[in-house]
Homo-oligomer: A and B are copies of this chain.
Amino acid sequence: MTFSYKRYLSLDPPSRDDFRADKERILDALKPLDASMPLSVMRKLYPLVTNSGYQVTVTLCPGRKGLEVTRVEPGDATGSLYGLALDIGSTTLEMELVDMLSGKAVAHSGCVNSQVRFGLNILDRILAVKEDGNNLEQLRCLVVGDICKLTEQVCDGAGIDREEISALIVGGNTTMIHFFLGCDPWLVFQNPYAPVFFDPGILSARELDLPLDCNVYCFPAVANYLGGDITAGLLLTDLDTSDTPSIFLDIGTNGELCLGCKDYLLMGAGAAGPALEGFGSRYGMRAEEGAIRHLKIDSDGEFHLETVGGGEPRGICGTGIFDLVAQCYLAGIIRGDGTVNLDDKRHTTLVWDENLECSVPAVVYDEKHGLYFTQADIQEFICCKAAAFTMVATLLDHCGLTPGDLGSIYLAGGFGTHIDVESAVTVGIYPDVDRSKLIPLGNTSLAGAKKLLLDSSCLERLKGFQENATYLHFSEMDKFLENMVAARFIPHTDRSLYPSVPDPGNP
């Protein structure tokens, strides 16, 4: 069953003994479904129902409480059914218009989240609201405006009228959904860490100021840091249905992780660090035009760079850094302990570090454009990957599992999608498992939203996530710090954990 769906009703016309009103006639015909009808739909019943000869098609959609009739059309209109899937990211929004009968996306659009004018960082936006409460309404209007624009684009693109949209499903982290709903997210990141809501329930598009006549479902959070983007992603996995445990990873500046099978669901979240996304290092940058996103050292020791857009390199983004560290490790340019091998004069040099006020070793990966990666950059990167690795290891430990016990490792987000899997295993952020078990999921909010549009039984699964998840506080766990220190090595101090990674120091 799709999330929203249509039912064609051939109603008995009114007669001397059956003078039920239109609303009651329709709701009676839907029995034993116990549906309700909002005022906006009641207002459209006359003369639509009479003129249709009492042959109408109703759209049914879950509401805040129970099923709602969200639209009434004349005649049999069951031949079309459309829905919108939306990801509200802090940086970008992505929307798909889905033909819910064929299951296919018929239009796609994306844009920068206009809230970036309050700061790229989500915390800057939260602080802006703290400084001036009116900014909350501004932030709300910005994202609502973006959604309106995307809606127009996908509808125009597919030649579909906006009133044809029968549902909007939204994935986003807890803060993004708070802004979208006009709720202050201050307590997402602040003591006592209890924000306004985890599960906003089903809302009407109109109360959200969206020019649609449908209901809106936002994926629920299970904890502050495990928001609707994560629960949407879990729908794409078998973490709640399989006998074999699997793990779900959404790694970036912060890591969000779930480990589960049909018997349990364990969740945790923690900071990894900006280095994994390309920040913090001197030439680190977002995956924008000119960023080196992939890098290889050929058998002649030559660097081959691939930039976003294909033009001249301006810096290096997260996926490029993974390749860089992995390739340099395998080529003996960077040692397992993260030090630069200055013996390799072709690829290394000393550069002046203004902060440390001394010369530091660095890998030169683009001499022409003067791009290098210093010893400190490497250390920072290793700390971040160690944090991410340790979160995974801790979840496994907690359940007495080893990576080999896992059915799959699901990789969410742009990072999980674009990173080179071999590089990620080589540097030791992912466990060293059969590569076929490493499954990139792409934009999980968008894909999860689409999945829910097509299969309302996902609502039960989402309820299960909310009810059954156990949250682990990594920082309070025994040996978390100790384990993290042990992971500050390429690929790991315990080399037996990475049998498939060649050891350049011991070929």
> A-side interface residues toward B, CB under 8 Å?
13-16, 19-25, 36-40, 42-43, 45-47, 50, 63-66, 181-184, 186-187, 192-201, 203, 207-208, 221, 223-224, 471, 473, 476
Contact = CB atoms under 8 A, between A and B. Distances in A.
A223 B20 CA distance: 8
13 contacts: A19-B192, A21-B194, A21-B198, A22-B195, A23-B196, A39-B203, A39-B207, A42-B196, A42-B197, A43-B182, A46-B186, A47-B186, A65-B66
A460 to B, nearest CB: 17
A21 B197 contact: yes
Nearest to A15: B192
A176 to B, nearest CB: 15
Contact of A24 (B20, B64, B198): B198
Contacts of A16: 473, 476
A194 B224 contact: no
A145 B407 CA distance: 64
B25 A194 contact: yes
Contact of A196 (B22, B66, B187): B22
Contacts of A194: 14, 19-22, 25, 50
B45 A196 contact: yes
Nearest to A471: B19
Contacts of A22: 194-197
Nearest to A190: B50
A104 to B, nearest CB: 32
Given A21-B198, A199-B24, A223-B19, A43 B187 contact: no
Contacts of A476: 16
A46 B181 CA distance: 13
A181 B20 contact: no
A187 B476 CA distance: 68
B14 A201 contact: no
Contact of A65 (B36, B40, B186, B207): B36
A46 B183 contact: yes
Contacts of A13: 192
Contact of A201 (B19, B37, B47, B201): B37
Contact of A224 (B19, B39, B63, B187): B19
Given A39-B207, A46-B186, A184-B46, A19 B197 contact: no
